[in-house]
Structure 1
Amino acid sequence: MEEELCYSTVIFKPSDNGKPTESEETVLYAEVKRLDSTLHTTLETSEEGSSTPVSPVCRRAAVFLGLLCFLLVAAVTAVSIFHYIHMSKYNNILAQQTKERADNLQLLEVLKQEKARLVTHGEQMNSTLDFIIHKSRFPVDKYCQSTGNGVRCTPCPQNWIQNGSSCYYFRRHLGNIWKTWKESQEYCEEYGAHLAIIDSEGEQEFINQHTNLDQRYGYWIGLFEKTEKNWVWINGAQLEKGFWVSGPVERYMYCVLSMPSKDPQKSWKSESCFSSNKWICEVEVLTWPTFLQAQQNHSNPSI
């Protein structure tokens, strides 16, 4: 680097004693000095390289801040761990409560079903009891039998046939011992029943189907002539529609037989109530409580 030159001009004015003229000037040239570039560079470097020393207060603050950050991180970590543990316990409790709630709902549904079952049993018991009470005679041994699984009862007496809401008994093979209309009715009453009341074509077809085994003899039904031309059922109901072979014979104390016929619509025949014949009994189906119910035996009566 080239050396730099410095010039300095010094002008001296004479004192008042000398009284110089205006044109007189005293000029003194100072010594020309060279600035050492090395020294200049050193000074610049010294100035640039110089730094302010760190204060102890700043150092303590930095240490404090660092410690504070560490404590904050530790606190956040601890809180996170606590939160995780707490949430795990909460989730476990929630899952357990959810399961218990599902179990309780299932148990509640079971209890509702059991309640409905008990209500149904109670209604059935009341219906059965009402049926029995209103019967002057009730042969419980004809309905219920004792088995290894307890007592079992059928909706119809033994050897009776169920059709719809009624049970029927067809009295067939008695040898020479048949009965009059009144005697037949008394036999039916022993079962809490009555001679058959036929009030529909479907019922008449059912009766005819089970009386076709013997084409020669008829069966007493619960219809009789109360007064002239006044045919009445055993329960007091008036006859509305008949299934006569050729019309009734209207005589005193005549009752009606259901005769075997190829045409169920033409099978009734009137005859003296004192003649002996077979007969048909009818009784309502008895609904037993479920725990007493047994399968109905639909076999035809043997006697």
Structure 2
Amino acid sequence: MHEVKAPAKEEGSPVPDKKEEQTLHSQTEKPSDEERTPEPRSESAPNFHDFQYFNVLAAFAATFSVILLVIVAVLIYFVVTMSSERVKLGGLSVENQRLIAEKRILENKTEEMIRQRDSLNWTLGVMMKFTTFPMEKFCPQKKCQPCQTGWIQFQEKCYYFYSESSWKTWNDSREYCKQENSDLIVTETVEEQEFVSENIKYYYSNFHGFWLGLRQDSDKNWLWVDGRNDTLGFWIQEPFGPVGSYALMIPGRPTNASWDKAEGEMWNKFICEQEILLKSF
């Protein structure tokens, strides 16, 4: 047999070392654990990590449900509470309005009682001025009126226009008025002057009229019977009969020029004035 000869070594090619050959031989014998192909897992067999994931998810869902239920319960509580408070506030509002209405009623009743008190005090004061109060003149058929029968009311005064045939001097006229718990008229306003002018009528002559409660003192000042100075001065400007120290109002003359300065002994009609018995406050 021919002996197989090993191929001749080429020049320049390295000769492998024995250690390298052993290493290569060991590497080709079996693969390492890292190079082994993993065996496929069965799909039906759950992994531990899957169980852990589902448990966490279930716990989160349960916790979220509890939190949601708590939030809903809190919202329901607040809604019910607010509704209850609204009902209470509505009830308080109605009660407050009722109390306010009752307060107004009481205030009105109090004011009415005060007015009645003041009116009664006024009436009592007028009655006390009479020595003997003429009940039949002020209260015919037991129903009282502001003025005596035959007197005329204007604002808060009563007026008596004397119309009998027996005329009187200025002093006698005033005495007659005092017997009726009144006095000769004191004219205070233009409106009162107009009222008097409308209620006096012509009689006998152009020089006769109605005595007023106005006369001249020693200092030539014109004073009313209540002590006040005259500020109206509705005198007749042209010469008109004998000049005296007492005021006489002539019917038919202009309202602002109807007073005559007459002598007190002249006989004339007159006007009495007194406060009303019943006064509203």
* TM-score calculated relative to the size of structure 1: 0.59
What's 1:117 paired with? 112
- What count of residue pairs does the alignment treat as equivalent? 250
Equivalent position SS for 1:260? coil
Taking only the aligned residue pairs, the percentage that are identical comes to: 22
State the SS of the aligned residue for 1:159: coil
- The alpha-carbon deviation at position 93 of structure 1 amounts to 0.7
Deviation by residue 1:129-158 (Cα, 9 ceiling, x = unmatched): 3333344454354444568xxx5633x334
Q: 1:171 Cα deviation (Å)?
A: 1.8
> What SS does the aligned partner of 1:108 have?
helix
Which residue matches 2:95?
100
Measure the CA separation in 1 of the matches of 2:102 and 2:16: 133
TM-aligned CA deviation for residue 170 of structure 1 = 0.9
Greater helix content? 2
- In structure 2, give the amino acid aligned to 1:46: P
Matched, 1:161 2:155: no
Task: Report matched runs for 1:1-303 at 5 Å.
Answer: 43=37, 46=40, 52-54=47-49, 64-144=59-139, 151=143, 153-154=145-146, 156-172=147-163, 174=164, 176-179=165-168, 181=170, 183-198=172-187, 203-214=192-203, 216=205, 217-223=208-214, 233-235=224-226, 243=235, 245-249=240-244, 257-263=248-254, 265-268=257-260, 269-272=262-265, 275=267, 277-286=268-277, 288-289=279-280
Q: Which ranges of structure 1 fall in alignment gaps of 5 or more residues?
A: 1-22, 36-41, 291-303
Task: Provide TM-score, normalisation by structure 2.
Answer: 0.62
Counterpart-to-counterpart distance in 2, 1:48 and 1:165: 121
Give 1 or 2: higher strand fraction. Answer: 1
State the Cα deviation string for residues 238-290 of structure 1 (Å, max 9, x = none). 7785836345347xxxx6643334345354332526x5x43211123455246
Q: How far apart are 1:48 and its partner, in Å? A: 10
- Structure 2: which amino acid aligns with 1:211? I
Cα pair 1:169 1:282 within 8 Å, conserved = yes
**Does the Cα contact within 8 Å between 1:137 and 1:190 map onto a contact in 2?**
no
Offset at residue 163 of structure 1 (A): 3.9
RMSD over aligned CA atoms reads: 4.7
